[in-house]
Structure 1
Amino acid sequence: MSCLRLGIDEAGRGCVLGPMVLGACLIDEQQVDHLRTLGVRDSKRLSAKRRIELRAQLEELVVSWKTSSVSARQIDHHSINSLGRDVTLALIKELRPDQVVIDAPVPPAGLPAYRQAIRQRLELSGLGHIEVIAENKADDNHPSCAAASIFAKTTRDQLLHELAEARGVNLGSGYPSDPRTQTFLREEWRQHGSFPPWVRTKWETVRRIVAESAQGQLF
C-alpha cells in the first residue's frame, strides 16, 4: 500500500510586509522520483517564472495541496512560532497523511522538542499514527516539502503583488533589508502617520522608522 506524504513549508516568516504563508503538498510516495525529474526544489532556488510553471504542473499532479496565511496583525499580537505551529497542525489534520515532513523553523538544537510538540498535539487529536519528520532545510531533501515551498512562495508573491497594485506603489520583496520596502514604509509613515493592516508594526524595522521620524521632529 502506498504511503501518503505531506510536505509543509512556509514563506514570508521574516518579512515586514504581508502575511506568512504556509504551503502543504500531499503526494503518493511513488511520485517522489517524478517530482525530482520535473525539477521540483526549494522555491528560493527557482526563478519566479519557473516557480509559476512548476506550480501549474504540481496542481495537476499531486494528490492534494493547500495554503494557509497568517496575517500581519496576527503576527503583531501573537508568537509567530505558535501561529505557525497551529496552522501546521491544522493542515495535517485536514489532509490526513501517513507521514508529514516539516521544514522546521527552529534551530537544530530545538528540533527534538519541536517534533515532540507536534506529535503530542496529533496524539490528542487521535492522529498519533502519523509519522512526523521535522528537519532544517527539509525543502532541500524532500520533494514533498520542496513542492510545498513552491505553493507557499507563489501564493505569497501573488498576495504581495495584489497589495502593490492596489496601492500603486513598489513594495519590493517585503523583507526589511530591501531598500524598496524601506522606502515604502518611510513614505507611508511620512504621509499618513500610520501603516496599513498588512504591515507588521512590531517589527524592528518599523519601530526604527517611527522612532527616527519622531526624533527628526524634535530638531
Structure 2
Amino acid sequence: MVYGICFCPVSKKEALKDLKVADSKTLSEAERENLFQKLDEAKGFIGWALHILSPNTISSSMLQRTKCNLNTLSHDAAIGLVQFALDSGVQLTEVFVDTVGPAEKYEEKLSKQFPGISVTVRPKADSLFPVVSAASICAKVARDHAVKKWTFLEELTEVDSDYGSGYPNDPKTKAWLLKYLDPLFGYPQFVRFSWSTAKALIDSKGVTVHWDDDEEDGEKAAQRQANRSMLSYFSAAGGSTNQNQTQNQTHRFFTERRLKSVDTL
C-alpha cells in the first residue's frame, strides 16, 4: 500500500486546480501518468512525498501476537507524512485528509497530533480537494509501478508476471492467486497474507496445520511458557536434576511421544 502527501502554498490552490487533478480512481492509467508528470514538473510550487508499506510489513503487523490493524497502519502513515513535511521545513497551516474509519475521530486525532494546524478529514477527500487528488495520483502511480516491476525475493522459477492489478475484482489477479498458492507455505511476500482474498484461498485450499499447544487454555499455556521452555531441557546440567522434579516438569510434547531425558548418548 502506498500513501501520498502533496503540498503547495495556499495562494497556489487555483494553480493546482488548473492542472485538472482528480480522484485517481476515476482516471485511466494514461491520464494518471500524464498528471503525475505535470505535478512533478511543477516543482516550483508543488511538493509531494510517499510512504510505502510492503505486503510483508502489513502482514507482519496484522498477524503478529500484538496485532496492529490496517486503520492504525494507515493513520500512522498519514501522521508520518505530515511530520515529514514539517521536518522538511514546510510551514503547514491546513491539512486535508481522506478518512480511514470515522472521520470525526480521525480529525480529532490529527488535530491533537498537530496543534495549530487546521485539519479537515472527509470521506472521499480525494474527489473534494485538489491537493488530496494530487496526492492520490502520486500514490497510485507509484503503487502501479511497484507492482509491475516487482522483484521476488524468493528463488522462484518461471513465475508469471501477468498478475493484473492486484485488486480482488481483477480476473488476472484471481487466476494468479489460484495458480501460485502453495498448500503449505501460502504465497511469496508479494501477497499480503492478511488480505481477506488471499486468506480465504489459504483456508480453503491450504493444508491444515495443528499445533500441539492449540488445545491448551491461553492463560495456562502462557504460565507454562513463562515457567519453563523446551530449551531448558537441553541446558540443564546432566545428572544434577532430581528425577521426580524432572518428571513433574516434563512438557506434554515429550510425554505424548514417550521421550525421556538422557545423561549420555
Q: Same fold (TM over 0.5)?
A: yes
Do structure 1's residue 64 and structure 2's residue 56 form an aligned pair? no
State the shift of 1:190 in Å.
4.7
1:182-207 Cα deviation digits (max 9, x unpaired): 11111111588431112111222112
Q: How far off its partner does 1:80 sit?
A: 1.1
SS at match of 1:30: helix
Larger Rg: 2
Q: Which has the higher contact order (CA 8 A, sep 6+)?
A: 1
1:88 pairs with 2:78:
yes
- Where 1:36 maps in the other structure, the secondary structure is helix
What is the CA–CA distance in structure 2 between the aligned matches of 1:64 and 1:178, rounded to whole Å? 33
Partner of 1:131: 118
Provide structure 1 residue ranges, at least 5 long, that are not aligned to the other structure. Answer: 1-19, 123-127
Match of 2:3 in 1: 22
Q: Residues 193 and 93 (structure 1 numbering): CA distance in 2 closer, same or farther, change over 3 Å?
A: closer
Equivalence for 2:172 = 180
Per-residue deviation, residues 147-180 of structure 1 (Å, max 9, x unmatched): 0010000000000111289944211111122221
Q: Which residue of 1 aligns with 2:98?
A: 103
* 1:169-208 matched pairs, under 5 angstroms: 169-190=161-182, 193-208=185-200
Go from structure 1 to structure 2 and tell me whether the alpha carbon gap of 1:31 and 1:165 turns closer, same or farther (over 3 Å shift).
farther
Cα deviation for residue 211 of structure 1 reads: 2.8
Shift of 1:36: 2.2
Partners of 1:134 and 1:84 in 2: how far apart? 13
How large is the RMSD of aligned CA atoms in angstroms? 2.1
Secondary structure of 2:71's counterpart equals helix
Unpaired runs of at least 5, structure 2: 62-67, 87-91, 154-158, 208-265
Higher strand content, 1 or 2: 1
| Cα contact 2:183–2:202 (8 A) shared by 1 | no
Q: Give, in whole Å, the separation in 1 of the partners of 2:119 and 2:4.
A: 16
Contact kept in structure 1, 2:184 and 2:206, CA below 8 Å: no
Q: Are 2:148 and 1:148 equivalent residues in the alignment? A: no
Match of 2:110 in 1: 118
Q: Identity over aligned residues, as a percent?
A: 29
CA distance in structure 2 between the partners assigned to 1:82 and 1:50 by the alignment: 31
Contact in 1 for aligned 2:21/2:35 (Cα 8 Å): yes
The letter for the 1-side match of 2:99 is: A
1:81 is matched by which residue type in structure 2? N
TM-score computed with the length of structure 1 as normaliser: 0.79
Structure 1 residues 197 and 165, CA, compared in 2 at 3 Å: closer, same or farther? closer
Deviations 1:15-61 (A, max 9, x none): xxxxx100100111222222222211111111111111111111122
TM-score for the superposition, normalised by structure 2: 0.66
CA distance in 2, matches of 1:53, 1:189: 36
Distance change (3 Å), C-alpha of 1:46 and 1:119: same
Q: Which stretch shifts more, 42-51 or 151-160?
A: 42-51
1:14 aligns to what?
Answer: none
Tell me, in whole angstroms, the C-alpha distance in 1 between the residues paired with 2:191 and 2:111: 33
